[in-house]
Structure 1
Amino acid sequence: MQPITFDGQPLAIEDIVALASRQAGAELGRAPEFQARIQAGADFVTRLLAEDGVIYGVTTGYGDSCTVAVPPALVAELPHHLYTYHGIGAGTLLTPEQTRAVLGARLASLCQGLSGVSLDLLRQIETLLKHDILPLIPSEGSVGASGDLTPLSYLAAVLCGEREVSVNGETLPAARALRAAGAAPLRLRPKEGLAIMNGTAVMTGLACLAFARADYLAKLATRITAMNVVASAGNAHHFDVTLFAAKPHAGQQRVAERLRADLASDTPSRNDHRLQDRYSLRCAPHVIGVLEDALPWLRSLIENELNSANDNPLIDPVEERVLHGGHFYGGHIAMAMDTLKTAVANIADLLDRQLALLVDAR
């Protein structure tokens, strides 16, 4: 397998899909500049704590408890209490493909170098991907657009040798699987529990997979439409280039172009039996074209999220600042998936109507 390098450089949706399907492996960047940037963030956090600095979720409580100071003697324990507290997931487990996508999305974010985590943490996630040690992550329990806290707690726990994993389809204790891979459980540093959990890796990883399926669906639905036009002796000229130049949505035009290629016809642009086919055939480019036109916009939202530092607070190792904000908010991914859901549902309805036309010509 060709490795995908995680070093803070932009990744594409296709990289996460390839990683999820095991068509590609994962490799942490080896460049000294990348590793120095990661180490600088971790060192700054250590130095700030030694100077009695205040960092949300590190020396304070969480949420409304941000005004509650954590005693210095308990700072090291806080990350472990955090993932333990959130280990309340429910529902079916994420599939192996989905879990790899989640690991890839989290590693991509942490490799931006703004999360204050150590190289050891990144190497531990790399180990999980290299040896296909997959945390068993329940699919329900996240607070949604405010960060994937509950599902990502299962990743944090596994990195520390707790909870269970799947290896080649076998469920094992995480500590045992790590030992078999030559790795030891981590002891999370003060910022690292929050850095792993307070982000959008689950929604983003799943969004990458959904995007790839939708992209394939647009092409498949176009081919099925062509088959149905042939099967119903339909009019191949509903997809005329001049016709679609009059309403020039680019995605709609691409669908019509594919249909013209599949239905190449030298017959006159009329149909002796029916001037106009049913909506489900004649309007297929208009329906499928909505998805085609949405995909570039959806890609930009998903890939921006994938290549972002999306935990809170962020650690700027260059200017040595702690930046408190809300990058865990997953509204862009939520909007993208709601849009995708609507477009895909319309295509499902289109194909249902095409099937009905085949079995009942009335």
Structure 2
Amino acid sequence: MTEVTLVPGEVSLGQWQAIHAGACMRLDPACAPRIAAGAAAVERILARHEPVYGINTGFGKLASVKIGDDDLATLQRNIVLSHAAGTGAPSPVPVVRLMMALKLASLAQGASGIRPQTVALLEAMLARGLTPVVPAQGSVGASGDLAPLAHMTAAMIGVGEILVGEERLPAMDVLARAGLEPAVLGPKEGLALLNGTQFSTAHALAGLFGADRLFRTALVTGALSTEAAKGTDAPFDPRIHRLRRHAGQIAVGEALASLMAGSAIRASHRADDPRVQDPYCLRCQPQVMGAALDVMRAAAAMLETEANGVSDNPLIFAETDEALSGGNFHAEPVAFAADMIAMAVCEIGSIAERRIAMLVDPALSGLPAFLTPRPGLNSGFMIPQVTAAALVSENKQRAFPASVDSIPTSANQEDHVSMAAHGARRLAEMVENALAVIGIELLAAAQGCDFHAPLTSSEALERVRARLRAQVPHLEEDRHFHPDMEIANGLVREGAIMEAAGLALPGVLS
């Protein structure tokens, strides 16, 4: 498996995606001097015996309480134990691993004051596949993702549980079995590990990666639906899109034109089609999908910046021995990015559902009612379209911006929060809903094209149909529909459909 070398501040979205997918990783050894310098600066700051937030004071509303030197280690352990107050189901392992890698890259920039041995423990846990059990709920996305990161840190000190493969075991036992000593946190280290946006950012990145695959596959199924409806490719003419100048719209128009190039189905009705214009769900694909692409690319740029930044507090500046308190832990950029992705995902599914509805309606598509040769005796695609509608409506409800919500916490010390964790966590289910809509469209569009035999579509789209038909036959009579949908959903989820098209499709990472 590919190994990713984390160069803090310079990690690409592709590298974060590889880590999320399970790639091995290691920290660039060149980080060592910066890490050591930050830790040494903390020691010099402590030697001045001045109150410095998070190093020798309480936290949040208790920042005015000075902590004596003898209690500094207890202070750091206490913050971990008290803040490990999450609830709900465990976060997915790929997301937790990504969160750990994001934290590692942040700490390694030397501005967090953490010691080399603590960084090494986090890196070793990643290398050995030791994944802390992190409850998914409990962060409001300001003062950092405190509760989730506290559960990660608790595992590092031997408290809580760690997943090893499918086993959920006591953290202390797992560390001992792996030959690792639990961390004894020094001054500032507990706060450095707890404070930051890595939980929200990991979920948002995971959502972005899923949305990218969704988008590319929806281009393919959208083109296939256009063929099934004998729609025109004239709206994909590049001259139209160059005049409007939006990069995403131009890219989508080119992709759709390429997907349909050489289609005998399209050629068969160029001269005698009585329709002047197709419905918006076909004709406006470049405008809708192009806007979604532009929005997701903007969100990707925000998340790439966030992933390469340092977001704990206070920050240590070794060159001047200063600890500066600020608000880098506030996850508003992540919240906005997650909201942008959510809106795009919702619209990708929404316009796809309209194409399904158009295909099953003989008045609009010119195809047999509900795409079955014998409607009445057979219901065909009647209820799969209802399922698609249900999924789209569910995503509409979830697409409401999380970033416009706020609730004061910590006795009003933290009086405005981002809700980034809420906004980012919902993306996985939204993407899954939209993928299922695209799976239904794949089945419906292929069925529609079957009625045009012996005419064929383009080479790219015929490869897509062949990939589907290798596992799902044409629907001649009603049969148990759910297995067909599960197969189609799997092909969409795994990227098999966009790969079968064999074309370079535009996306977030390209």
Q: TM-score category by the smaller chain?
A: over 0.9
Q: TM-score, normalised by structure 1?
A: 0.95
Please tell me the residue identity of whatever aligns with 2:249: Q
The answer for the alignment partner of 2:388 in structure 1 is none
Range with greater deviation from structure 2 (252-261 or 283-292)? 283-292
Q: Is the 8 A contact 1:134 1:165 kept in 2?
A: yes
**Whose Rg is larger?**
2
Mapped to 1, the partners of 2:17 and 2:229 lie a distance apart of 37
Mapped to 2, the partners of 1:178 and 1:199 lie a distance apart of 24
Range with greater deviation from structure 2 (326-335 or 40-49)? 40-49
The answer for the alignment partner of 1:315 in structure 2 is 316
Say if 2:168 is the partner of 1:171: yes
Mapped to 2, the partners of 1:126 and 1:111 lie a distance apart of 11
> Cα offset for 1:7?
4.1
Say if 2:350 is the partner of 1:353: no
SS of the aligned residue for 1:147 comes to coil
Mapped to 2, the partners of 1:301 and 1:355 lie a distance apart of 34
Unaligned runs of 5+ in 2: 364-510
Aligned 1:6-85 pairs, distance under 5 A? 6-22=6-22, 24-31=23-30, 34-85=31-82
Mapped to 2, the partners of 1:54 and 1:171 lie a distance apart of 41
> Cα offset for 1:361?
2.9
Range with greater deviation from structure 2 (336-345 or 138-147)? 138-147
Please tell me the residue identity of whatever aligns with 2:117: D
Mapped to 2, the partners of 1:155 and 1:14 lie a distance apart of 24
Over residues 80-136 of structure 1, what are the superposed CA-to-partner deviations in whole Å (9 max), with x where a residue is unaligned? 111111122111111111111111111111111100001111111111111111011
Over residues 323-349 of structure 1, what are the superposed CA-to-partner deviations in whole Å (9 max), with x where a residue is unaligned? 111110100010011111111111111
Q: Is the 8 A contact 2:292 2:347 kept in 1?
A: no
Over residues 252-299 of structure 1, what are the superposed CA-to-partner deviations in whole Å (9 max), with x where a residue is unaligned? 110110000011158486661312111111111111111211233212
Please tell me the residue identity of whatever aligns with 2:335: A
SS of the aligned residue for 1:326 comes to coil
Say if 2:148 is the partner of 1:151: yes
Aligned 1:323-362 pairs, distance under 5 A? 323-362=324-363
SS of the aligned residue for 1:172 comes to strand
Q: Is the 8 A contact 1:237 1:269 kept in 2?
A: no
Please tell me the residue identity of whatever aligns with 1:289: G
SS of the aligned residue for 2:316 comes to strand
> Cα offset for 1:225?
0.4
Mapped to 2, the partners of 1:3 and 1:125 lie a distance apart of 17
Say if 2:204 is the partner of 1:203: no
The answer for the alignment partner of 2:285 in structure 1 is 284
Mapped to 1, the partners of 2:237 and 2:143 lie a distance apart of 47
Say if 2:5 is the partner of 1:5: yes
Aligned 1:232-243 pairs, distance under 5 A? 232-243=229-240
Mapped to 2, the partners of 1:313 and 1:331 lie a distance apart of 18
Evaluate the alpha carbon distance shift between residue 91 and residue 271 of structure 1 in structure 2; reply closer, same or farther with a 3 A threshold.
farther
> Cα offset for 1:200?
0.3
Please tell me the residue identity of whatever aligns with 1:107: L
Evaluate the alpha carbon distance shift between residue 335 and residue 145 of structure 1 in structure 2; reply closer, same or farther with a 3 A threshold.
farther
Q: TM-score, normalised by structure 2?
A: 0.68
Please tell me the residue identity of whatever aligns with 1:298: A
The answer for the alignment partner of 1:275 in structure 2 is 276
Say if 2:127 is the partner of 1:124: no
> Cα offset for 1:206?
1.3
| Percent of aligned positions that are identical | 35
Q: What is the aligned-residue RMSD (CA, Å)?
A: 1.6
Range with greater deviation from structure 2 (241-250 or 130-139)? 241-250
Over residues 207-266 of structure 1, what are the superposed CA-to-partner deviations in whole Å (9 max), with x where a residue is unaligned? 111111122222111111001011111112221111222212110110110000011158
SS of the aligned residue for 1:224 comes to helix
Over residues 9-59 of structure 1, what are the superposed CA-to-partner deviations in whole Å (9 max), with x where a residue is unaligned? 41112212211211x21212223xx21211111111122213313220121
Q: Is the 8 A contact 1:147 1:329 kept in 2?
A: yes
Aligned 1:87-126 pairs, distance under 5 A? 87-126=84-123
Mapped to 1, the partners of 2:32 and 2:7 lie a distance apart of 8
